[in-house]
Amino acid sequence: MLLVHAHPDDESITTGGTIARYAAEGAEVTVVTCTLGEEGEIIPPGLDQLGAWAGDQLGGYRAGELAAAGSALDWSAHRYLGGIGRWRDSGMAGTPSAEHPRAFLRGSADEQAEQLLAVLDELRPQVVVGYDAFGGYGHPDHIRAHEITMSAAARATSVARVFHTVFSAGAVARGLARLREAADVPFRVPADGELPTTPDERITTTIDVAAHLGAKFAALRAHETQVQVPGSREPCFALSNGIAQPVPPAEYFVLARGDAAGSATDLFGGLDP
């Protein structure tokens, strides 16, 4: 299995439980990260000067965070698209960072797809996981990651299925309801509909990760510049915006390409080993 993510921490937030589960089951799991996340906001005040607005050393720091997350999730291998530092975090739409010469969004999508195809041809995964056409929440780098993933996977002979990682509307609603009832959540609990989700009727695959939430939370904690993990009873985290996001005991996917038979609860279900 190969997962394509735009920035360090995306892999842990959206697919950390899935990575840990399949790694524990003996699958070869590779994560490809497209940028170093240089434009990310920084939560710990003592690390503020790493930012692009100051020392511009956040990317290197986040590479260390990503390596620690990988150790927690126990993936088989990791690659940076085009090599470490080739593509830079573009930032949000309309920001000056998108004009940086190495900005992921400014680069050639054809070149980036070829770089990903080379990894697919080398590692020959059966299953590829990426984002939907909206990139989950509209970040330009996520959208570009979607585009090159679909392009490269369509040409890779080993790939039998492509999935998009999504957040279940029902699971998020249930998680938020529990957070509202908890007395020890240190973040703002958002209203229903405030977090980006996918209607449950569109979800094709549900992966039970309950036994691997410990590994997922260890990976989230590794991304200390980006993610806050409280000690509350209800499982949740927050980014720099301080908005609580629940962590359900399952992760959710939409099959974008390939035969669906056997895939309702297993990304590899029904595929020949």
CATH classification of the domain holding 50: 3.40.50.10320
Handedness of CA 206, 211, 214, 215 (dihedral sign): negative
- Find the length of the chain: 273
Asked if residue 181 belongs to a domain, the reply is: yes
Q: What percent of the chain has pLDDT over 90?
A: 96
Asked if residue 268 belongs to a domain, the reply is: no
Q: Using an 8 Å Cβ cutoff, are 7 and 35 in contact?
A: yes
Domain carrying residue 164: 2-256
From 18, 54, 272, 7, select the one nearest 164 (Cα to Cα): 18
What H or E segment, with its residue span, contains residue 5?
strand 2-5
Residue 273's pLDDT band, with cuts at 50, 70 and 90, is: confident
User: Which DSSP string do the residues of 231-258 spell out, in sequence order?
Assistant: --SS-EEE-TT-BEEE--SEEEEEEEES
Asked if residue 200 belongs to a domain, the reply is: yes
Tokens 């529990």, residue located: 178
The 10s digit of each residue's pLDDT in 173-227 is 999 999 999 989 999 999 999 999 999 999 999 999 999 999 999 999 999 999 9
Tell me, what's the pLDDT at 215? 98
Residue 40 pLDDT > 90, yes or no? yes
Tell me, what's the pLDDT at 207? 98
Tell me, what's the pLDDT at 151? 98
Asked if residue 31 belongs to a domain, the reply is: yes
Tell me, what's the pLDDT at 190? 97
Residue 231's pLDDT band, with cuts at 50, 70 and 90, is: confident
What H or E segment, with its residue span, contains residue 65?
helix 58-73
Q: In whole numbers, what is the pLDDT of the chain averaged over residues?
A: 97
Asked if residue 273 belongs to a domain, the reply is: no
Tell me, what's the pLDDT at 162? 98
Q: What are the residues whose beta carbons fall under 8 Å from the beta carbon of 212, sequence distance 6 or more?
A: 16, 17, 20, 21, 24
Q: Which residues pair with 46 in a beta bridge?
A: none
Asked if residue 208 belongs to a domain, the reply is: yes
Asked if residue 146 belongs to a domain, the reply is: yes
Residue 128 pLDDT > 90, yes or no? yes
Paired tokens of 231: 């000690």
Tell me, what's the pLDDT at 192? 94
Asked if residue 25 belongs to a domain, the reply is: yes
Residue 94 pLDDT > 90, yes or no? no
How many domains, the chain?
A: 1
Residue 233 pLDDT > 90, yes or no? no
Residue 88's pLDDT band, with cuts at 50, 70 and 90, is: very high
Residue 43's pLDDT band, with cuts at 50, 70 and 90, is: very high
pTM, full prediction: 0.97
Tell me, what's the pLDDT at 70? 98
From 144, 127, 147, select the one nearest 255 (Cα to Cα): 127
Burial class (CB in 10 A: 0-12, 13-18, 19+), 78: middle
